[in-house]
Amino acid sequence: MFNIHVHTAASLLAAVFWMTKAVAAPFAYITNQLDESVSIIDTAKNGVVHTVKIPGKPAGVALSADGKYAYISTPEANGFAVIDTQSRQVLKRVALGSSGALGIVADRIGKRLYIADWYQHLVLVLDGTDYSVIRTIKVGESPSGMVISPDNQWLYVANRLSNSVSQINLNTLSVWNTTKVGEHPFGLALDSKGERLYTANVESDDVTVLETQHFKNIATIKVKNLPYAGTLALHDTRLLITNQEDDSVSVIDTASLKEIAVIEVGDKPEGIATHPDDQHVYVANWFENTVSVIDVNTLKVVATIPTGNGSRAFGNFISLK
């Protein structure tokens, strides 16, 4: 309940900022893997305000719960980098010996950070303050996308090569349940109540819908070529999925579980995230080196922002504050 209140307040504030174009808008952190940089987008201006150089082929993004830090996974640097969102400087680079560090997520209380290791089939549990490895959890093959439940009790991990999702209990730091989904799940999206989980399945061109209470597959929704990642908007009523090989975003009505629109975006869309106003969705276009901004009410692209080479932005890349 507390989470929901905070969320609503944040949405209201964000909406006000959006309308008045106030200075303190949320920022989007876009990893440009081939450029080895992160473009910081001011969402009030829909333009890049700063570019941070980050070696190690940056790929994944997570924001700390308080919005003070952006965590960037750097597979070629075997770990991740920490950006101070105020100064926009790299505070720290952490090498973990994790050659497959890709998926990255921060918990909702500023205590821990989780990194999925693609090659070692592990989730690394890190202390959110000193970044030491507290635990490693064996999951399925090539874990990629991760999300944390709103109550901070569960971590969900897409195991790409095992065609499954692991549900990890964050109190015991152990795998609680595993369930089969479509072929090669990559990105995950979880609703704001933590009740429904959606997986974008790269190989089977569909989305698996799981209910989290019994961790059961309740529907499969066909989308377009090579679905990559997803995000929810308009009070969880819309699910937007990037279709990498179709240069489009599928819009799914979460009540009927049907695809209701397909929006053309830039070339090879990958990372996707929802603005805190809950009305706008940002999409990183890997081939085109841009970010498309979608108005979810009108289902139109309202802005296209040039970024850097190979924009991936895999993860929840928009700060709430």
Partner 1 sequence: MKKTTFLASVLMFSFATAASAHGPVRQKLKEDIKINAPAAKVWDIIKNFDDMSWLPPVASVTAKGGNEKGATRVLTLKSGGTIHEEMNKYDAEKMTYAYKITELSTKETITHNGVEEKVPVLPVGNYAADIQVTADGSGSVVSWKAGYYRAYMNNNPPQEMNEDAANNAVAAVFKAGLDNIKALAEK
Nearest to partner 1 of 70, 226 (CB atom): 226
Nearest to partner 1 of 170, 296 (CB atom): 170
Q: Give the nearest distance from C-beta 125 to partner 1 in angstroms.
A: 9
Nearest to partner 1 of 56, 276 (CB atom): 56
**CA angle 273-115-230, nearest 5°?**
25
Query: How far is Cα 63 from Cα 107, in angstroms, rounded to an integer?
Result: 9
Q: Give the nearest distance from C-beta 133 to partner 1 in angstroms.
A: 6
Query: How far is Cα 14 from Cα 282, in angstroms, rounded to an integer?
Result: 15
Q: Give the nearest distance from C-beta 76 to partner 1 in angstroms.
A: 4
Check: CB of residue 70 under 8 Å from CB of residue 62. Answer: yes
The closest alpha carbon to 287, from 262, 254, 312, belongs to: 312
Binding residues for partner 1, rule: CB under 8 A, are 33-34, 56-57, 75-78, 96-100, 102, 118-120, 124, 132-136, 225-226, 245-246, 267-268, 286-287, 310
User: From the CB of residue 267, how many other CB atoms can be counted at a distance below 10 Å?
Assistant: 12
Q: In what order do the strands lie in the sheet with 269-274?
A: 269-274, 280-285, 290-295, 300-306
Q: Give the nearest distance from C-beta 64 to partner 1 in angstroms.
A: 23
Nearest to partner 1 of 136, 177 (CB atom): 136
Nearest to partner 1 of 81, 318 (CB atom): 81
**Dihedral angle at the C-alpha atoms of 186, 108, 177, 196, nearest 10 degrees?**
-70
Q: Give the nearest distance from C-beta 132 to partner 1 in angstroms.
A: 8
